[in-house]
Structure 1
Amino acid sequence: MAAKTKAQDIIDNNAVAVFSKSYCPYCKSTKSLLSEMGVKPYIIELDQVDDGAAIQDALEEMTNQRSVPNVFIGQKHIGGNSDLQGKKSQLPQLLKAAGAA
């Protein structure tokens, strides 16, 4: 339950939150896109924190998505890298609404 609370806190307290793994090429692509848009997301590398597996389990329970990256903008679940890339044209608007841009 602590992992779910931690995940929810991260989502609630950051305009853009990315649950990532440091070695994941899709995560790198997501972080690059956000960086190109001038956004500094809160990034947690699940493979580098002790409770990473538990957080990943909690995220799956919350979003029905187990894979990373798991992206939230303005406390809304966006999905993974392909979802984010697919919303490229809407991103400036989403980020502005979330207060991230």
Structure 2
Amino acid sequence: MFLLRQLYRGLSSLHAPTEPLKIMAVKDTVESAISGNTITIFSKTWCPYCKRAKTLLTSEFPNVQTQIVELDELDEGAAMQDYLYQKTSQRSVPNIFINQKHVGGCDSVVALNSQGKLASLVGA
């Protein structure tokens, strides 16, 4: 598993944009998604932790403006994940923002919900 993770990181860095305009476009796309929605989830379609977090957030808060960005379906997904790592120090998905605040991943959202703190964070 460790070797696969190392290989993935190495390969994903090969796809990182090298042109400044592409880097700015990726940054703008990520920041726009975060600032334009109450809940923003950067996800991958095959990830069970992403599915759990998406299900929890969309079922608990169906009327809240939520954007789900499926990184594995976007050409610039690897570059977006690299930018999110720079921004949050979190490489894994899901990478979740609520009211423009980085809250972490699936375990963090589940913990906030079980502590009764998630609803107030979403409502803030």
TM-score (norm 1): 0.91
Please tell me whether residue 80 in structure 1 is matched to residue 105 in structure 2. Answer: yes
Whole-angstrom distance in 1 between the partners of 2:123 and 2:96:
16
1:4 is displaced (CA, Å) by 1.6
Secondary structure at the aligned position of 1:36 is classed as helix
- Secondary structure (helix, strand or coil) at the match of 2:73 reads coil
Report the equivalent of 1:4: 27
Q: 1:43 aligns with which of 60, 68, 72?
A: 68
Task: Give distance in 1, aligned partners of 2:61 and 2:31.
Answer: 24
**Which structure has the bigger radius of gyration?**
2
- Tell me how many residue pairs correspond in the alignment: 97
Q: Which moved more, 1:74-83 or 1:5-14?
A: 5-14
Whether 1:28 aligns to 2:55 is: no
Q: TM-score, normalised by structure 2?
A: 0.75
1:56 Cα deviation (Å)?
A: 0.3
Gapped runs of 5+ residues in structure 1?
none
Segments of structure 2 that go 5 or more residues without pairing to the other structure are 1-22
The alignment's C-alpha RMSD in Å is 1.0
Separation (CA, whole Å) in 2 of partners of 1:23 and 1:56: 15
Which deviations, in whole Å up to 9, do the C-alpha atoms of 1:40-85 show, x marking residues without a partner?
A: 5200100001100000000000000000000000000000000111
Q: Deviating runs (4+, > 4 A) in structure 1?
A: none
Higher share in helix: 2
Q: Percent identity over the alignment? A: 44
